[in-house]
Amino acid sequence: MKYKQLTKEQFEALHKEFAQFLATQQIDVKEWNAIKADKPELAEQELNLFSDVVWDDVLNRTNYLEHFSEKNINLFKCDKNEIFRIVVQVNKTDFSFFNDKDYKWFIDNTKDGSITFYKGAKKYGADRNSEIFDLIQKGSVIADGKLFEGIFKLIS
């Protein structure tokens, strides 16, 4: 398995797609139920294979990631051959990006001396999708890129 098996809830949400996936392998509902009952290891392999297909599709379409912590934001732009990163760090006591008031303060005061911006880029070490998946596993979420692009313009 390349990534991670989807959760039960994710499989349920993708039940039509999973049925189509099985159909491409000439497995109908009756045969799938028999596989689950008689060959659970084969059923597990099919679930893992479908999970990898879904993850690859999602990761292929992922262009931006965000990761928030109390005093930092890590923003990623995932191009084809390299990943760009912006780190926003706030060195202010009693500040948290998780607090709406503090986040609004940050948006309104981006030139404040307590805010530091870093940026960098690197080529993917191995596989683009694996690196993006690793960032998601570490807490990043897929984003629309508005925050990355806004801060990039601000610091460029």
Write out pLDDT tens, residues 21-48: 999 999 999 999 999 999 999 999 999 9
Name residue 73's beta-bridge partners.
Answer: 68, 88
If we measure between CA atoms, which residue out of 119, 108, 114 comes closest to residue 95? 114
Identify the pLDDT of residue 101: 97
CB count in 10 Å sphere of residue 24: 7
Identify the pLDDT of residue 126: 79
**For the chain, how many helices (H) and strands (E)?**
7, 5
Identify the pLDDT of residue 54: 96
| The residue to which tokens 């690859």 are assigned | 56
Cα separation, 63 vs 80, in Å, equals 9
Cα separation, 117 vs 106, in Å, equals 12
Structure tokens at 116: 């530091």
Segments of the chain with pLDDT less than 70: none
Q: How far is CA 27 from the centre of its chain?
A: 31
Identify the pLDDT of residue 77: 98
Contact 143, 62 (CB under 8 A): no
- Tell me the CB-side half-sphere exposure of residue 101, using CA atoms within 13 A: 2
Identify the pLDDT of residue 107: 94
